[in-house]
Chain A
Amino acid sequence: MRQVLGDRKTIAVLLAPALICYSLIMLAPMIWSLGYTFFTGNPIRGFSFAGLANFDTLLHDPKTGQALAFTVKYAVTVTVGQVVLGYLLALLYVFHLKRSSGLVRTLVFFPVVLPTVAVSLLFQKLFAIVPQDGPVNSVLQLFGAESVNWFGSGAKAFLVIALMDIWRSMGFYGVLLYAGLVDIPDDVIESARLDGAGGWRLARAVVLPLSSPVLISALIFSINGTLKVFDSIYALTGGGPGSLTSPLTLHMYRTAFAYGDYGYGATIALTLTICCLLVTVAVFRGSRKDLLA
Chain B
Amino acid sequence: MIIKTARKRRQAVLAGLCALGLAVSLSGCGGDSSSDQPTGGQAEFSFLGMPENTTVGSVLSTVAAGPCASTVADYPLKSSSQPQASYDQQLQLLAGQNALPSLIFAANTPSLAIELHDGGYLVDIDQALAEVGAAGAILPAAESVLRSLYGGDLFTLPAEFNIEGIWYNKQILADHGIGLPATWDELTAANQKLADAGVQPFSVAGSGGDGWNVTRLVGNYIFRSLGADALSQVADGKAKLTDPGYVAAAEAVSAWGQAGYFGPAPTAVDYATAMNTFLTGQAAFYYMGSWALASFNDPAQNQIGADNIGFLSFPNVSGGKGSADQVPANAGMPLALSTAGYGDGAKAWLSCLAQNYGTVALRDMGQITGFRVNDPVADLPALTTEVQDIIANAPSSVLWFEALFSAQATTTAQTNGGLLAEGSISGAEFMDAVQADLG
Contacts and interface: CB of A to CB of B under 8 A. Distances in A.
A binds B: yes
Interface of A: 8-9, 12, 16, 20, 23-24, 28, 32, 42-45, 62, 128-131, 147, 149, 151-153, 237-243, 254, 257-260
Given A23-B18, A152-B424, A241-B419, 7 more contacts: A32-B26, A43-B92, A131-B276, A152-B265, A152-B422, A254-B411, A259-B411
B425 A242 contact: yes
B87 to A, nearest CB: 10
Contacts, number: 110
Nearest to B280: A131
Contacts of A238: 208-209, 415
A243 B277 CA distance: 26
B236 to A, nearest CB: 20
A16 B288 CA distance: 62
Interface stretch (B111-119, B161-169, B177-185, B381-389): B111-119
A18 B432 CA distance: 52
A128 B273 CA distance: 12
B96 A241 contact: no
Contact of B407 (A239, A243, A260): A260
Contacts of A129: 264-265, 268
B270 to A, nearest CB: 9
Contacts of B207: 151, 240
**By CB atoms of chain B within 10 A, which of A32, A44, A128, A153 has the most?**
A44
B406 A259 contact: yes
23 contacts: A12-B14, A24-B25, A28-B25, A43-B92, A44-B95, A44-B115, A44-B119, A44-B121, A129-B268, A130-B264, A131-B276, A149-B264, A149-B422, A238-B415, A240-B208, A240-B415, A242-B412, A242-B415, A243-B412, A257-B89, A258-B89, A258-B411, A260-B115
B281 interface: no
A222 B371 CA distance: 56
A24 B24 CA distance: 11
A1 B269 CA distance: 68
A45 B436 contact: no
A242 B419 contact: yes
Contact of A44 (B92, B265, B406): B92
B267 A240 contact: yes
A59 to B, nearest CB: 16
Given A28-B22, A260-B112, A152 B92 contact: no
A76 B29 CA distance: 38
Contacts of A257: 88-89, 92
A38 to B, nearest CB: 16
B418 interface: yes
Given A28-B25, A45-B118, A242-B415, A149 B407 contact: no
B81 to A, nearest CB: 18
